[in-house]
């Protein structure tokens, strides 16, 4: 489109006014040059009471620095590692929300969006750009914003699905080429590899997978080379899926909706992942209101959702967002997919975690730590997996599930947990058999 006029980042952010609500495209695609320009306005004393929203972002988040108190107020939908310290200190904040509903915050008007700041691929011959690795709630922000500023970046992959939007949706254009923020993952250790094997044993041929990010999902994926016709419908995926796509293990052939396509709403991984989705018709980057809708998720058979936890109590309550009163991450899409998988024909909702912390403390507790948030309730949990095994809690009574959960606790802590269960439930607990 020859009528596009590019301006500098500093010129673009002049549209921001004090009191505005701003949305940043998320994860790997945070618009760095706009963030830096916005902070320069903050340094100059030109703004106050500006609220900033996004999913978690990779890279630096300077707007959460204590020096910007009263200027920028971070209210994100997930607590990433780059803002965790300042959220816990009170200089930044978090909006508890199901990931599926983050887009609804904007579309319903519950949360205003004055300025959307995003990154896009170059305009194609049809007059479209792609949001690349960050559709999530970003599309909803663009639809509802007073002004949308787009950084045209040649490194943003040209992804299909809802990621493709007409250039006419953009109001202000900035040009800056910087590589997308890569994510680095450690190799699974012995415990994580054992959890991966226990989870992989539950995955059937023809399953549609959702799993988060990190060593445990990669350990699971590494065990699936002998499987057939797996599909992907998830909120995000990373490098671990690529070898399975190359082998033909992941082909989406058994899916009932989006057959043959890998469906996701955001990505984080190496450059190889970003290159993989570029111009790839096998990948559909979709609005988070679609990817994380439990009733959409449930339309595919054998949906197998694998999510992690920080702590689980002996009744099956899952804390995944906080360490006591200190917020560590967020609700994310865990309950969206736990519920969606449980509604899927032949589906399996799995919560997987190491049985102990790095310091050897049990992550399975008689009761959750005071202040801990329940993300997946005891009513929602089905499968629970540690390095010591996998147990199905669905349909089990409180005493039965306590016995099952304790059976996959670390051996060093089982006696203590059994004693706590006996004290809680009374002498009948002694007669419970697995």
Per-position pLDDT tens, the chain of length 434: 558 999 999 999 999 999 999 999 999 999 999 999 999 999 999 999 999 999 999 999 999 999 999 999 999 999 999 999 999 999 999 999 999 999 999 999 999 999 999 999 999 999 999 999 999 999 999 999 999 999 999 999 999 999 999 999 999 999 999 999 998 778 899 999 999 999 999 999 999 999 877 789 889 999 999 999 999 999 999 999 999 999 999 999 999 999 999 999 999 999 999 999 999 999 999 999 999 999 999 999 999 999 999 999 999 999 999 999 999 999 999 999 999 999 999 999 999 999 999 999 999 999 999 999 999 999 999 999 999 999 999 999 999 999 999 999 999 999 999 999 999 999 999 899 88
Q: Which of 115, 117, 35, 42 is nearest to 82 (CA)?
A: 35
Contacts of 194 (CB under 8 A, 6+ apart): 387, 388
Please report the pLDDT score of residue 218 as a whole number: 87
- As given in the structure block, the two tokens for residue 222 are 């590494």
What pLDDT shows up at residue 2?
Answer: 57
- Burial code (b: 16+ CB inside 10 Å, e: under 16) for 257-272 equals ebeebbbbbbbbbbee
* Enzyme catalytic residues: 235
How many of the other CB atoms lie within 10 Å of CB of 201? 12
Nearest CA among 39, 108, 52 for reference residue 80: 52
Helix (H, G, I), strand (E, B) or coil at 256: coil
Residue of 222, 216, 199 whose CA lies nearest to 391:
199
Contact criterion met (CB below 8 Å) for 311 and 417: no
Residue 271 is predicted with a pLDDT of 94
pTM of this prediction exceeds 0.85: yes
CB distance 131 to 285 below 8 Å: yes
Nearest to 332 by CA among 241, 213, 202, 186: 213
Spatial separation of the C-alpha atoms in residues 376 and 358, rounded to whole Å:
23
Integer-rounded Cα Rg, in Å, for the chain is: 22
DSSP 58: S
Per the listing, tokens 């301006």 go with: 7
**Pairing mode of beta strands 322-323, 326-327:** antiparallel
Quick one: tokens of 365? 């507790």
Q: In which element (H, E) is residue 262 found?
A: strand 262-264
Q: Is the Cβ–Cβ distance between 113 and 144 less than 8 Å?
A: yes
Give me 272's structure tokens: 């190889």
Token duo for residue 240 = 């671990």
Q: Tell me how far apart the terminal alpha carbons of the chain are, to the nearest angstrom.
A: 67
- How far is CA 135 from each of CA 54, 56, 161, 307, 398, rounded to the nearest angstrom? 11, 13, 9, 21, 40
Residues composing the chain: 434
Q: What is the pLDDT of residue 184?
A: 79
């Amino acid at each position: 489109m020859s009528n596009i006029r590019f301006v500098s980042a500093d010129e673009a952010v002049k549209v921001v006014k004090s009191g505005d609500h701003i949305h940043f495209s998320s994860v790997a695609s945070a618009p760095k040059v706009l963030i830096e320009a916005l902070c320069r306005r903050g340094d100059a004393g030109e703004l106050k009471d500006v609220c900033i929203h996004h999913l978690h972002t990779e890279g630096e988040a300077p707007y959460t620095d204590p020096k910007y108190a009263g200027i920028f107020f971070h209210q994100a939908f997930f607590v990433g590692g780059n803002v965790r310290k300042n959220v816990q200190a009170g200089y930044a904040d978090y909006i508890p929300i199901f990931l599926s509903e983050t887009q609804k915050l904007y579309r319903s008007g519950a949360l205003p969006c004055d300025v959307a700041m995003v990154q896009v691929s170059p305009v194609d011959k049809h007059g479209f750009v792609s949001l690349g690795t960050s559709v999530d709630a970003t599309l909803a922000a663009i639809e509802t914003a007073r002004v949308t500023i787009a950084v045209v970046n040649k490194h943003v992959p040209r992804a299909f699905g809802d990621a493709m939007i007409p250039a006419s949706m953009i109001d202000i254009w900035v040009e800056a080429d910087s590589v997308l923020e890569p994510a680095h993952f450690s190799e699974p250790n012995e415990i994580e590899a054992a959890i991966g094997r226990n989870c992989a044993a539950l995955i059937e041929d023809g399953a549609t997978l959702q799993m988060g990010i990190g060593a445990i999902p990669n350990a699971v994926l590494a065990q699936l080379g002998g499987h057939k016709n797996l599909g992907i419908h998830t909120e995000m995926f990373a490098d671990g899926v690529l070898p399975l796509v190359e082998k033909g293990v992941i082909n989406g052939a058994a899916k009932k909706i989006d057959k043959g396509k890998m469906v996701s709403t955001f990505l984080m991984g190496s450059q190889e992942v970003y290159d993989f989705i570029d111009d790839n018709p096998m990948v559909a980057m979709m609005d988070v209101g679609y990817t994380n809708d439990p009733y959409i998720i449930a339309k595919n058979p054998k949906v197998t959702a694998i999510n992690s936890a920080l702590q689980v109590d002996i009744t099956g309550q899952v804390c995944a967002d906080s360490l006591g009163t200190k917020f560590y991450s967020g609700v994310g899409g865990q309950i969206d997919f736990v519920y969606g998988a449980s509604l899927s024909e032949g589906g399996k909702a799995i919560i997987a975690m190491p049985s102990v912390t790095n310091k050897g403390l049990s992550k399975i507790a008689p009761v959750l730590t005071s202040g801990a948030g329940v993300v997946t309730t005891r009513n929602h949990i089905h499968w629970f997996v540690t390095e010591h095994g996998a147990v199905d809690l669905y349909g089990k009574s409180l005493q039965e599930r306590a016995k099952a959960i304790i059976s996959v606790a670390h051996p060093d802590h089982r006696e203590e947990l059994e004693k706590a269960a006996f004290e809680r439930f009374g002498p009948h607990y002694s007669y419970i058999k697995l």
